[in-house]
Chains A and B, each alone.
Chain A
């Protein structure tokens, strides 16, 4: 899922400083699962902003809603009527949601309430770890399912580096060296020969070289009125 984290309250307060009526809009997608932008976080943020503004002598009115998703146009349609009720919207969706809303509702003042951080997994309650960088050229068939692009601090393709010590990364000694893990994993699987090839420098073109990436499925483009 996409992992996000609430922006510092001072930053959000700065964004909405000119306004008296603001909608706080959450998303029940990834940001709800990673406890950054679901119903509960919307309620907390709205209460915190109102409290801060009340103390500053400039009371704030909030409308709180959480959409099913903010990365599909159909779920953003309530923004049309919300425009009439508030002066600005703080979205707790990832950057995808904020961008799409800004594309579709250009006269709406929409501000991000979270920083979008990474693609991660949720190995235990209250903890999220990066597992994928979305580089567009997945090689984990060769590395035992473990991604050196996302999980090696140096994004090495021919690791480990000389700094790997005792199975730990030299950049952050509390983090396992993913190349050590890859070696152990492939050894256990009897697939160590996969490490005998030398990978050339990575082609980063699929990672976003040339601007925003697109994916098209013509077979699904029927009665497409999204554009």
Chain B
């Protein structure tokens, strides 16, 4: 295990993955579901980082398939806003990733989580944590 924690903030409809689906990723994975990714606020992303996550993945429905029409597009804008804040305080904006996932596609969800982990490999020396 890398000792890293990745928090996934996702729309309830994008994820059916269980802990075993994510077991290949050598990091602690925390999943927080929201009724819609459009409900995920910039502060939720920042609070996840404050709560020891090295990276945050925001997962919303594929564009055009959101129950609430524009939820995942709102989420994408909040990810951009959170990244700007990270830049302002000297953190790597790549710590926050956005993924558009086909509804309940576990494979795509796991792939997005892996990609987030790989981003961390790019920006953090192995074993380094923010805490």
Q: How many residues of B contact A (CB 8 A)?
A: 13
Q: Could you tell me the distance between the alpha carbons of A49 and B87 in the complex, rounded to whole angstroms?
A: 13
Q: Specify which chain B residues have a CB less than 8 angstroms from the CB of A55 in the assembled complex.
A: 89-91, 130
Offer 25 A-B interface pairs, CB within 8 angstroms, sorted by A: A9-B88, A9-B89, A10-B88, A10-B89, A13-B89, A43-B41, A43-B43, A44-B41, A44-B42, A44-B43, A44-B85, A46-B43, A47-B43, A48-B46, A48-B85, A48-B88, A48-B89, A51-B46, A51-B49, A51-B50, A51-B89, A51-B91, A52-B90, A55-B89, A55-B90
Q: Using a CB-CB cutoff of 8 Å, which residues 25-56 of chain A contact chain B?
A: 40, 43-44, 46-48, 50-52, 54-55
Contact with A along B25-69 (1 / 0, CB 8 A): 000000000000000011100110110000000000000000000
Query: Contact between B50 and A54 (Cβ–Cβ < 8 Å)?
Result: yes
Q: Which 7 A-B pairs have the closest CB atoms?
A: A47-B46, A52-B89, A9-B88, A43-B43, A47-B43, A51-B50, A44-B43
* Chain A residues proximal to chain B, CB less than 8 Å: 8-10, 13, 40, 43-44, 46-48, 50-52, 54-55
Residue of B nearest to A54 (CB): B50
**Min C-beta distance of A15 to chain B, whole Å:** 15
Q: Beyond the given A40-B43, A48-B46, A50-B50, please list 11 additional residue pairs across the A-B interface where CB-CB is below 8 A.
A: A10-B89, A44-B41, A47-B42, A47-B43, A47-B46, A47-B47, A48-B85, A48-B88, A48-B89, A51-B46, A51-B49
Cβ of B91 and Cβ of A9 under 8 Å apart?
Answer: no
CA distance in complex: A40, B42 (Å): 9
Distance in angstroms between the alpha carbons of A141 and B50 in the assembled complex: 54
Residues of chain A within 8 A of B49, CB atoms compared: 51
**Once bound together, how far apart are the Cα atoms of A48 and B88, in whole Å?**
9
Residue of B nearest to A55 (CB): B130
Complex: how many Å from CA A13 to CA B50? Answer: 16
Residues in chain B near residue A47, CB distance under 8 A:
42-43, 46-47, 50
Docked complex Cα distance between A160 and B64 (Å): 46
Q: Is the CB of B130 within 8 A of A9?
A: no
| Nearest B residue (CB) for A64 | B43
Q: How far is the CB of B84 from chain A (nearest CB, A)?
A: 10
C-alpha gap A44/B85 in the complex (Å):
9
Chain A hits for B43, CB < 8 A: 40, 43-44, 46-47
**Chain A residue contacts of B85, Cβ below 8 A:** 9, 44, 48
**Measured CA separation A43–B130 after assembly (Å):** 21
A48 to chain B: which residues have CB within 8 Å?
46, 85, 88-89
Closest to A40 in B: B41
Least CB distance, A36 to chain B, in whole angstroms: 13
Shortest Cβ distance from B49 into A: residue: A51
Contact with A along B112-130 (1 / 0, CB 8 A): 0000000000000000001
Please measure, in the bound complex, the distance between the C-alpha atom of A155 and the C-alpha atom of B49, giving whole angstroms.
47
A9 surroundings in chain B (CB, below 8 A): 85, 88-89
